[in-house]
C-alpha cells in the first residue's frame, strides 16, 4: 500500500506540473502529522494523516474517528507513534522537471545518434580499410553498440591476461 501511495503521489505531482489548470487537489499539503498505530486487541493497525500544527501533532488530535472506546483511548494512544512532517513541494516539482528534462535530452540524443550514425558510417569503396583489432577479430563494428561490445570483449581479455600474469608471478614467488 505504501509503494502505491508513493507512486500515486508522484503521479499527481507530474500531472499537476503538466496540466496545472486541469487538476484540483485540496489534500496536497506541505505539512502534516502522521500517526502510525499498531494493532490493538481486535483492531488492525492503521496510519492516520492530518494537517494540524506541530503542537497538535499527537494521537488525540490526529486519530479520528477513534477506533477504541473512551476508557481505552489513553492505552491506544500510547502505542501510536506520531511524527510531524514538512516537505517542499516546489523543490519536488523542480527536481522532477530537471529529471524529466535530462531523460528527455538523453532520449533525443539517442535518437540523433541512431539517425546520424548510418550517415557517418557510409562505406567508401575507394578508401582502404584500417587494420585494427576489430578487423583482426573478423567482425567490423558498424553501430555504436557493436563498438561498445567489442571494447568490452577486449577489456575482458586484458583482465584475464592480467589475472593469469599475477597468479603466475604469485606461484613463482611462493
Where do we find the cell 539517425?
Answer: 115
Angstrom distance (rounded) from CA 95 to CA 91: 6
Give the pLDDT confidence score for residue 19 in this predicted structure. 53
Beta bridge partners of 37: 46
Predicted confidence band of residue 174 (pLDDT cuts 50, 70, 90): low
Angstrom distance (rounded) from CA 148 to CA 150: 5
Measured from the Cβ of residue 123, the count of other Cβ atoms closer than 10 Å reads: 8
pLDDT in tens, 118-155: 777 766 555 555 545 444 444 455 778 888 888 999 99
Where do we find the cell 489513553?
Answer: 74
pLDDT in tens, 9-52: 555 555 555 555 544 454 467 899 999 999 998 889 999 999 99
Angstrom distance (rounded) from CA 16 to CA 13: 5
DSSP string, 99-161: HHHHHHHHHHHHHHHHHHHHHHT---TTSPPP--HHHHTT----SHHHHHHHHHHHHHHHHHH
- Which is nearest to 82 in space by CA: 30, 29, 31, 36? 36
pLDDT in tens, 72-107: 899 999 999 999 999 888 999 999 999 999 999 999
Contact 121, 142 (CB under 8 A): yes
Cα–Cα distance list, 132 to 123, 152, 155, 160 (Å): 17, 15, 15, 21
Query: Strand order of the sheet with strand 46-50?
Result: 46-50, 31-37, 81-86
Amino acid at each position: 500500500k505504501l509503494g502505491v501511495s508513493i507512486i500515486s503521489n508522484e503521479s499527481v505531482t507530474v500531472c499537476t506540473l503538466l496540466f496545472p489548470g486541469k487538476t484540483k487537489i485540496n489534500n496536497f499539503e506541505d505539512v502534516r502529522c502522521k500517526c502510525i498505530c499498531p494493532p490493538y486487541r481486535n483492531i488492525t493497525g492503521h496510519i492516520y494523516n492530518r494537517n494540524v500544527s506541530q503542537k497538535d501533532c499527537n494521537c488525540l488530535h490526529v486519530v479520528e474517528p477513534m477506533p477504541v472506546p473512551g476508557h481505552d483511548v489513553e492505552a491506544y494512544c500510547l502505542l501510536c507513534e506520531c511524527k510531524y512532517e514538512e516537505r517542499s513541494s516546489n523543490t519536488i516539482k523542480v527536481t522532477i522537471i530537471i529529471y524529466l528534462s535530462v531523460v528527455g535530452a538523453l532520449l533525443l540524443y539517442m535518437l540523433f545518434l541512431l539517425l546520424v550514425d548510418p550517415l557517418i558510417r557510409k562505406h567508401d569503396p575507394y578508401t582502404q580499410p584500417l587494420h585494427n583489432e576489430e578487423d583482426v577479430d573478423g567482425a567490423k563494428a558498424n553501430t555504436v553498440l557493436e563498438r561498445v561490445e567489442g571494447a568490452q570483449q577486449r577489456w575482458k581479455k586484458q583482465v584475464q591476461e592480467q589475472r593469469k600474469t599475477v597468479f603466475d608471478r604469485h606461484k613463482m614467488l611462493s
